[in-house]
């Protein structure tokens, strides 16, 4: 694994629990963790039972005892590491968004396609797909339970930047992160909307905003540019993005991604309305899926609150008795277990790098639209990215 911060911790927990709860045909062996800070990487190795530490990712991917490389670093490093790992014959799991630009994402998808011909698998880490309630929503929509889709509403709401004195981090620098709330959290709801509906976003009309344009530098400001003599740095990404979209099946969609929704810590909402019914999900109540069947008599009509903790629900049979809910961390275990199963079976895991590229094309279209007065912008516009 390359990286040892927030996602590194989540992925490490996922690999450990996958071998404990899912009894995979391939058992993950935590061979080596890589990071520039040797002490921080060594601390992660100690806490999560990684066997070795590397301070250069190039050394990590050339190790003969490494079969799979898990990339948990900022977006500006994804393309270089992933392509090199695939060319070295390693399976790859790469955190989202796949890259910082469409050009990088296309190069990664092409490398994944070449590697696939030699049995090398790759997957992008959109872990919210693996929340059991979301996986159930995908099943219900696929079974035709909502009929023809008319509307999709998707929101990802956080508030960790509301304080204008919150320090500048790499997530607020375009050269490191690619974009702000749009790419960091908006990418998730774009993927969820396409995953649950089985349709692709064909065009967008967007607005983005940066509410706080400079912030104090943190005590450790390695790699962050500052305003001369001020101890502050420019925020070069969006704080919020709002856009209208159309799916290729004709449905209308609205998306909102913001880090300024005061009081919302990690609220992910998705609602799909169709001719036969609706489904609705809110991560603040993540073990529940709201389901409406429009074919029932009017006197019985309304949303049913489905508690997604039964053994018959996706992933749940591997965990606790019915009614004992799962949490944020479990999606990373499901991700690891699914990838291990695909490699063992010789099948292509999802979401693929091609799926990651599709999300990247939407992100680029949103930025292009916002920069051009909310002009309607197709997601396949060759000028994007």
Dihedral (C-alpha) 338, 116, 9, 195: value to the nearest 10 degrees?
-60
Cβ distance 221 to 168 under 8 Å?
yes
Which residues in the chain show pLDDT less than 70?
Answer: 220-230, 382-385
Distance separating alpha carbons of residues 169 and 76, to the nearest angstrom: 14
Q: What would the pLDDT profile of 64-86 be if each residue is shown by its tens digit?
A: 999 999 999 999 999 999 999 99
Would you state the structure tokens that stand for residue 284, as one six-digit string? 């603040």
Would you state the structure tokens that stand for residue 299, as one six-digit string? 């006197």
The pLDDT assigned to 381 comes to 72
Distance separating alpha carbons of residues 81 and 46, to the nearest angstrom: 24
The pLDDT assigned to 131 comes to 98
Distance separating alpha carbons of residues 298 and 318, to the nearest angstrom: 38
Distance separating alpha carbons of residues 61 and 14, to the nearest angstrom: 21
Nearest partner of 99 among 353, 331, 332, 335, judged by Cα:
353
The pLDDT assigned to 228 comes to 46
Cβ distance 47 to 10 under 8 Å?
no
Domains along the chain? 6-128 (3.40.50.720), 131-327+334-351+359-369 (3.30.360.10)
For residue 169, report the phi and psi dihedrals to the nearest 5 degrees. -130, 175
Q: For residue 176, say if its preceding peptide bond is cis, omega within 30 degrees of 0.
A: no
The pLDDT assigned to 276 comes to 98
Q: What would the pLDDT profile of 184-240 be if each residue is shown by its tens digit?
A: 999 999 999 999 999 999 999 999 999 999 999 997 655 565 554 469 999 999 999
Sign of CA dihedral 218, 260, 133, 93: negative
Q: What percent of the chain has pLDDT over 90?
A: 94
Would you state the structure tokens that stand for residue 226, as one six-digit string? 């500052």
Give buried/exposed letters for 340-377 (b at 16+ CB in 10 A, else e): bbbbeeeeebebbbbbbbbbbbbbbbbbbbbeeebeeb
Nearest partner of 357 among 129, 109, 174, judged by Cα:
109
Q: At what angle do helices 187-197 and 132-142 cross, to 10 degrees?
A: 40
Place of tokens 């069947």: 293
Would you state the structure tokens that stand for residue 234, as one six-digit string? 């420019």
The pLDDT assigned to 219 comes to 79
332 dihedral zone (left: phi>0; alpha: psi -120 to 50; beta): alpha
Place of tokens 């050339």: 62
Strand order of the β-sheet with 91-95 is 68-71, 91-95, 122-125
Dihedral (C-alpha) 308, 313, 319, 325: value to the nearest 10 degrees?
0
How many CB atoms within 10 Å of residue 225? 12
For residue 367, report the phi and psi dihedrals to the nearest 5 degrees. -65, -40
- For residue 22, the number of C-alpha atoms closer than 13 Å in the C-beta half-sphere is 26
Q: What is the largest CA-CA distance in the chain?
A: 69
**Which stretches of the chain are DSSP H helices?**
6-21, 38-48, 57-61, 78-87, 102-116, 132-142, 174-177, 181, 187-197, 330-345, 353-371
315 dihedral zone (left: phi>0; alpha: psi -120 to 50; beta): left
């Amino acid at each position: 694994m390359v990286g040892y911060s927030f996602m590194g911790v989540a992925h490490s927990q996922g690999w450990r629990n996958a071998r404990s709860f899912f009894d995979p045909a391939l058992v993950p062996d935590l061979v080596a963790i890589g990071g520039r800070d040797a002490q921080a990487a060594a601390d992660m190795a100690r806490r999560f039972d990684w066997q070795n530490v590397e301070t250069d990712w190039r050394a990590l991917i050339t190790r003969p005892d490494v079969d799979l490389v898990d990339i948990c670093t900022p977006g500006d490093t994804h393309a270089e590491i992933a392509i090199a790992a695939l060319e070295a014959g390693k399976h790859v799991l790469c955190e989202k968004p796949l890259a910082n630009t469409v050009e990088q994402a296309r190069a990664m998808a092409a490398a994944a396609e070449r590697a696939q011909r030699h049995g090398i698998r790759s997957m992008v880490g959109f872990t919210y797909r693996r929340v059991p309630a979301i996986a159930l929503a995908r099943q219900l929509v696929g079974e035709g339970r909502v009929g023809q889709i008319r509307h999709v509403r998707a929101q990802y709401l956080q508030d960790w930047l509301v304080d204008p004195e919150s320090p500048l981090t790499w997530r607020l620098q375009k050269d490191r992160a690619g974009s702000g709330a749009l790419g960091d959290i908006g990418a998730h709801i774009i993927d969820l909307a396409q995953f649950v509906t089985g349709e692709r976003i064909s065009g967008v009309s967007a607005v983005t905003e940066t509410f706080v344009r400079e912030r104090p530098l943190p005590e450790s400001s390695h790699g962050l540019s500052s305003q001369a003599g001020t101890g502050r740095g420019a925020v070069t990404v969006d704080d919020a993005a709002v856009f209208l979209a159309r799916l290729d099946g004709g449905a209308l969609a609205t998306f909102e991604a913001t880090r300024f929704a005061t009081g919302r810590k990690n609220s992910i909402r998705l609602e799909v309305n169709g001719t036969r019914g609706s489904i609705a999900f809110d991560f603040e109540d993540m073990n529940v899926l709201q389901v409406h069947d429009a074919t029932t008599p009017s006197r019985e009509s309304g949303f049913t609150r489905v508690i997604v903790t039964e053994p018959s629900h996706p992933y749940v049979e591997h965990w606790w008795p019915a009614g004992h809910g799962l949490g944020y961390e479990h999606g990373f275990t499901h991700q690891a277990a699914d990838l291990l199963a695909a490699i063992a079976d010789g099948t292509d895991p999802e979401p693929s790098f091609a799926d990651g590229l599709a999300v990247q094309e939407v992100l680029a279209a949103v930025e292009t639209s916002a920069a051009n007065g909310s002009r309607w912008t197709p997601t396949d516009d060759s000028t994007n990215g």
